Amino acid sequence: MKHGQAAILRPEQDSYLERLLPPSDPLLREMEERAKREDIPISDPEVGRLLAILARSVGARRILEIGAAIGYGAVWLARGAPEARVQSVDVNPERLAAAREYLERAGLAGRVELIEGKALEVIQRLDGPFDLVYVDAVKTEYRRYLDLVLPKLRVGGLIVCDNLLWGGEVAAPGEEKDPDADALRAFNGYLMMHPQLQAVVLPLGDGVGLATKIKPTIFEMGGPF
């Protein structure tokens, strides 16, 4: 979710792009308003649309979401890939309860499994391969998420990471030290240079990293050798 209005783009550009978006349906709009009112971190609507487009374009059958919040991203992902099963992880039971309610109302509860627990622990218990992984959780843990999920992602699969520009702070650090901005800055370089990935960071929402897996990891090939 954006760090305030027009955190990355100029205000007139941000407003123009928002006007291009079709109105959210009543359920999504209710979720957006609740997230804003209760300060719950969810994806921006344009990022949600991107998730749906990507899930549909790769014909996703298995999707992992790291950071469920109230289920906003899961709704977009499940709607985008009608044949997919989504597993969504979050440590907050109250938010998962809200997500479960919204998914039931959306008619998606049968295809979305909500898993309570710390993502770094849960990921290790999950079996791949996944077609798409969406990361929007603890920013200082992004690199470890990537390291854990990459062997479970199929070659040609996608990893999508939200908030990579962190309101522009990764490019122009403020006077006060921000551990999240520092971690994301380091992660961006790691993502872009990763030998198993082809990646790009897009100035969409609060910055979206998009990567496709181009070859298996050494562990998948039976290494280390």
In contact, 113 and 141? CB cutoff 8 Å: no
Percent of the chain with pLDDT strictly greater than 70: 93
Determine contact, residues 143/187, Cβ cutoff 8 Å. Answer: yes
Which stretch of DSSP H or E encloses residue 41? Answer: none
17 against 99, higher pLDDT? 99
| Dihedral angle of Cα 35, 36, 41, 47, to the nearest 10 degrees | 90
Return the pLDDT at 11.
Answer: 77
Dump pLDDT digits (tens) for 194-222: 999 999 999 998 999 999 999 987 767 66
* Position 177 pLDDT exceeds 90: no
> At 104, which amino acid appears?
E
- For residue 2, is pLDDT > 70? no
Query: How high is the pLDDT of residue 172?
Result: 82
What mean pLDDT comes out for the span 91-118?
98
Judged against a pLDDT cut of 60, whether residue 134 lies above it is answered with yes
pLDDT at position 8, please? 66
Q: pLDDT band for position 176 (50/70/90)?
A: confident
Q: What's the pLDDT at 102? A: 98
- In tens, the pLDDT along 9-38 reads 677 877 887 888 888 899 999 999 999 999
- Strands, sheet with 112-116, edge to edge from the N-terminal-most edge strand: 112-116, 85-90, 62-66, 130-135, 153-162, 208-213, 197-202
- Return the residue matching tokens 């990921």: 123
Return the pLDDT at 137. 97
Percent of the chain surpassing pLDDT 90: 80
Domains and CATH numbers, the chain: 11-213 (3.40.50.150)
* Residue 48, CA distances (Å) to 23, 34, 76, 141, 150 in order: 13, 16, 6, 22, 22
Give Cα separations from 212 to 110, 134, 195, 197 (angstroms): 28, 12, 11, 6
H helices of 21-109, where? 26-38, 45-57, 72-80, 93-105
- Which of helix, strand or coil describes residue 222? coil
Q: For position 97, what pLDDT does the model report?
A: 98
Give the pLDDT band of residue 3 (cuts 50, 70, 90): low
- In this prediction the pTM is 0.92
Question: Which whole number is the average pLDDT over 126-151?
Answer: 97
Place 85 in a pLDDT band, splitting at 50, 70 and 90: very high
Helices (H), 39-164: 45-57, 72-80, 93-105, 119-125, 142-149
Which of 21-35, 70-84, 90-104 has the least mean pLDDT? 21-35
| pLDDT score for 5 | 52
Longest Cα–Cα distance in the chain: 54
| Whole-number pLDDT of residue 174 | 72
